[in-house]
Structure 1
Amino acid sequence: MLKAKILICDDEEGIRRYLQKMFQAKEFEVETFADGTSLLARIEAGTDGDADILLQDVRMPDMDGIEVLKRVKKLRPSLPVVVMTAFGTIDSAVDAIKLGAYDYVTKPFPREKILGVIDNALELDLLMKENKALKEELARPDTPDNIIFTSAKFREVYELTLQVAGSDANILILGESGTGKELIAGAVHYNSPRRGRRFLSINCAALSDTLLESQLFGHVRGAFTGAITTQKGLLEEADGGTLFLDEIGDVSAAVQAKLLRVIQERDFIPVGATKAKNVDIRFVAATNKDLAKEVREGRFREDLYYRLNVITINLPPLRERTEDIIPLAEHFLQKYSRRVRKELKGISPEAAQVLQAYHWPGNVRELENVVERAAILARGEFVTPDVLPMYRQAAGAPAPIAPPKEDRLISLEVIEKEHIERVLHQTGWHKSRSAEILGISRKTLDRKIVEYALTLPGGVPADDE
């Protein structure tokens, strides 16, 4: 049972005492009233302690219970009210329901009956509060309020994002891990006509095919071992809104085919079901892979590629928008200084120089992690170089990878290999930490290590967490 504060209003002392003892045994906070006047006085004064539910008798000595209910609902419209009534006054209870009472119980009532009614009322109230909060969040036009930039290069990206947001076209966001692809996807949604509906996202690389399919399409009871209930998938939950498919380049051929059907036919079949469900969804996909190359080499469906790639948004890596490093770092510093309860005034000039000189293979995600660490370790009012990991890097650690020179024309695969290798070295081959910086799943990182034949340097322990 949910733990909450309950108000009990009944003129019979025995009933009040019985109910108070019962609910306190269930760890409720309980306050009792012998008449409607004292109850209303408490609620009008706003000193009811933000009660979660009211259990009220229909018949009161000083005031009709229906009148009490009317006034309670005027003062606290969202307060769930359960009325108690004697068998001969059922009509009054029905009137109470019409006026907004959640339910009624007749005296004498079994202990299990009243506990069940109160429990259900509280669960419904919690659901309504969560739904209201979600609607308010979705209604805010400035939900993606942490897109920080000053560079002309990223301004072009942001202006394109706002330009295409008003259309209903599917969008493909390309960029290295950690460049903010989900943030841009959110900006597309919250500046679109769909802003009042849900924005949902899923990391396609983090799940097995079976689990990914279940998460996307949902399943019916008995569809597979362990499917003890019917579960809606993200496609159904995102109906009318936007679904962000992160790491779309890691989706298997089988799931690619099913996604293509959804985009083309605007319907899908849950796992284990036989009847299709219609949906209206805008798809925003993202990847750090060269999808055009994946198509040429037969690893990604050409028809799905063109369905997703109606509009392409290319995100520049942080090393190509160095003007944004310090504004972003200061934004993150404000965020994390509040969390760690420190009054940090900013980043010292020396620390700013270190941050700007760094190559940022993990892009904005890595910068945020570095600043969070610095906020925790900072001893004064400013972040200084000694709390930055790149400043304290061991002498034997690999040097930063320099940006490719104009005469050093190399493939994206080589760049990716070098980035992964450098992050692994920097974290002491802490694979979970490296995967977080790179913005990929641990499973994907393990696959990349094998694919690029990356070897563990002697004397450095591997981390399997």
Structure 2
Amino acid sequence: MLKARILICDDEEGIRRYLQKMFQASEFEVETFAEGTSLLQRLEGGSDGDADILVLDVRMPDMDGIEVLKRAKKLRPTLPVVVMTAFGTIDSAVEAIKFGAYDYVTKPFPKEKILGVIENALELDLLLKENRVLKEELNRPDSPDNIIFVSDKFREVYELTLQVAQSDANILVLGESGTGKELIAGAVHYNSPRRSRRFLSINCAALSDTLLESQLFGHVRGAFTGAITTQKGLLEEADGGTLFLDEIGDVSAAVQAKLLRVIQERDFIPVGATKAKSVDIRFVAATNKNLAKEVQEGRFREDLYYRLNVITIDLPPLRERPEDIEPLAEHFMRKYARRIKKELRGISPEALQLLRSYRWPGNVRELENVMERAVILSRGDQVLPAVLPLRGKESPPPPRDNRLIPLETVEREHIERVLRQTGYHKSRTAEILGISRKTLDRKIAEYAIALAGHARGTALDS
């Protein structure tokens, strides 16, 4: 069984053959290169996992070995490099260490010396990879340390998340900014059959069309000014896994059309390329916009909407699940206290009351920012009201409605409100109201409720 793949770059044919024979006898897979240019082309065109270590001579005819090292490290920052040098060029070897080489050996070298260096480099690389995996596991979006709730309202959302995770359907996560849409997307991935593959995310609103397209689809060298190397996009990186498209409602019509092709055809063409690449990706999209309204008003493609909205997960704002404010605040307090090594035993009752009375327009993200600030400014062993920037911002009592109105008006307004909150999804509206779909249709007709979210005369439904 092959242990690892070694790339050898040396202009001396005898050295290449000697090393190739030695490494193959030790069950390594070997590729050899006579000049730096061909090596760099190989690194540029391959994938991240197809080479485990590079053995590089510092004296090359076509390109200085140090320059080859610098470029190789730009293409593959984590690839271990062992440099070879003649006795009289030790300074070059030391310089190579400064630019990221793992170690160097001087020619001529005994078999045991070079094999020992290779084994040590591979062992260190393995430890570093395992460390990165452990860190990703600890920081993954669905970690029990990150999803905090006690409310029944959010428990329903989380149970639905775990249920739909087992399918392979695309999911649309709706909710205000800061409600935790990426956490839910991560929970979908890490509780799905795709959990062993990658979970990647991109904020579609933060990038221009050109940059978003390049990040998603990748590009080949020379595709545009500045494209000096071939770059894989997130679609290729997420193959077999899950891609989270945050703020999908802000994507332009041109990018929408290209995304639709990926979802329908399961392939894509990198920028500047002519050949399509096949991918198998589960998409989780999120937005704080009413996509049904965006479809109706022509700003979002109807066919893409239905492709992404196979299952909808609607996240409630923090003000609608006040029971979660205290456990979330305590979680963030412990998190940031650990980070700055400060001893805090809790939040005072007065501070908790202040947190509960605030409406949190920025939702969980705003609460986290408030608690980070509170931990930094706290001087005692408790978070006190003085360090919370919320004084004078408590929620005003809800206005009293003294109108004397008929019961049917109350019912009509309630049905309209639930329809809006579900994006005019009739089945979900009927389920929330506790009535049958047939009864809902009858009441919509009876009260002449305008279906603002309908498309081509038919209410949105899945």
- Report the TM-score, using the length of structure 2 for normalisation: 0.63
Residue 265 of structure 1: aligned partner: 265
**CA deviation after TM superposition for structure 1 residue 135, in Å:** 4.0
Matched-pair contact (CA < 8 Å) for 2:173–2:315: yes
Alignment pair present for 1:319 and 2:319: yes
Alignment pair present for 1:186 and 2:183: no
**CA deviation after TM superposition for structure 1 residue 225, in Å:** 1.2
Cα 1:142/1:222, change in 2 over 3 Å: closer
Cα 1:268/1:405, change in 2 over 3 Å: farther
Counterpart of 1:377, as a letter, is: L
Matched-pair contact (CA < 8 Å) for 1:256–1:304: yes
**CA deviation after TM superposition for structure 1 residue 110, in Å:** 3.7
- SS, match of residue 202 in structure 1: strand
Cα 1:124/1:258, change in 2 over 3 Å: farther
- SS, match of residue 386 in structure 2: helix
Cα 1:133/1:264, change in 2 over 3 Å: farther
Of residues 106, 130, 133, the one that matches 2:131 is 133
Q: How does 1:54-453 map to 2 (within 5 A)?
A: 94-95=21-22, 98-99=25-26, 103=55, 105=84, 108=87, 110-111=89-90, 114=93, 119-121=100-102, 128-136=126-134, 144-145=143-144, 146-391=146-391, 393=392, 400=395
**CA deviation after TM superposition for structure 1 residue 168, in Å:** 0.7
Rounded Cα–Cα distance in structure 2 between residues aligned with 1:401 and 1:246: 32
**CA deviation after TM superposition for structure 1 residue 121, in Å:** 4.4
Moved over 2 A (4+): 90-145, 398-412
Rounded Cα–Cα distance in structure 2 between residues aligned with 1:168 and 1:290: 24
Rounded Cα–Cα distance in structure 2 between residues aligned with 1:113 and 1:220: 33
Structure 1 range deviating more: 285-294 or 108-117: 108-117
Cα 1:91/1:202, change in 2 over 3 Å: closer
Matched-pair contact (CA < 8 Å) for 2:358–2:394: no
Matched-pair contact (CA < 8 Å) for 2:354–2:394: no
Rounded Cα–Cα distance in structure 2 between residues aligned with 1:378 and 1:272: 54
Rounded Cα–Cα distance in structure 1 between residues aligned with 2:179 and 2:399: 18
Residue 59 of structure 2: aligned partner: none
- SS, match of residue 307 in structure 2: helix
Cα 1:199/1:128, change in 2 over 3 Å: same
- SS, match of residue 172 in structure 1: strand
**CA deviation after TM superposition for structure 1 residue 108, in Å:** 4.2
Q: Can you list the C-alpha shifts for 1:238-271, whole angstroms capped at 9, x where unaligned?
A: 1111000000000010000000000000000111
Counterpart of 2:348, as a letter, is: S
Rounded Cα–Cα distance in structure 2 between residues aligned with 1:147 and 1:354: 23
Matched-pair contact (CA < 8 Å) for 2:175–2:315: yes
Matched-pair contact (CA < 8 Å) for 1:135–1:196: no
Rounded Cα–Cα distance in structure 2 between residues aligned with 1:132 and 1:244: 24
Rounded Cα–Cα distance in structure 1 between residues aligned with 2:280 and 2:400: 46
Q: Can you list the C-alpha shifts for 1:337-359, whole angstroms capped at 9, x where unaligned?
A: 11222100010000000000000
Counterpart of 1:383, as a letter, is: V
Matched-pair contact (CA < 8 Å) for 1:242–1:284: yes
**CA deviation after TM superposition for structure 1 residue 222, in Å:** 1.1
Cα 1:125/1:252, change in 2 over 3 Å: farther
Counterpart of 1:381, as a letter, is: D
Cα 1:92/1:187, change in 2 over 3 Å: closer
Q: Can you list the C-alpha shifts for 1:429-450, whole angstroms capped at 9, x where unaligned?
A: xxxxxxxxxxxxxxxxxxxxxx
Rounded Cα–Cα distance in structure 2 between residues aligned with 1:184 and 1:309: 15
Rounded Cα–Cα distance in structure 2 between residues aligned with 1:404 and 1:281: 48
Counterpart of 1:334, as a letter, is: R
Rounded Cα–Cα distance in structure 2 between residues aligned with 1:92 and 1:269: 39
Counterpart of 2:358, as a letter, is: Y
Cα 1:405/1:245, change in 2 over 3 Å: farther
CA RMSD of aligned residues (A): 3.6
- SS, match of residue 360 in structure 1: coil
Matched-pair contact (CA < 8 Å) for 1:249–1:287: yes
Q: Can you list the C-alpha shifts for 1:393-432, whole angstroms capped at 9, x where unaligned?
A: 4xxxx775766888899999xx9xxxxxxxxxxxxxxxxx
**CA deviation after TM superposition for structure 1 residue 93, in Å:** 9.2
Cα 1:219/1:93, change in 2 over 3 Å: closer
Matched-pair contact (CA < 8 Å) for 2:142–2:184: no
**CA deviation after TM superposition for structure 1 residue 99, in Å:** 3.8
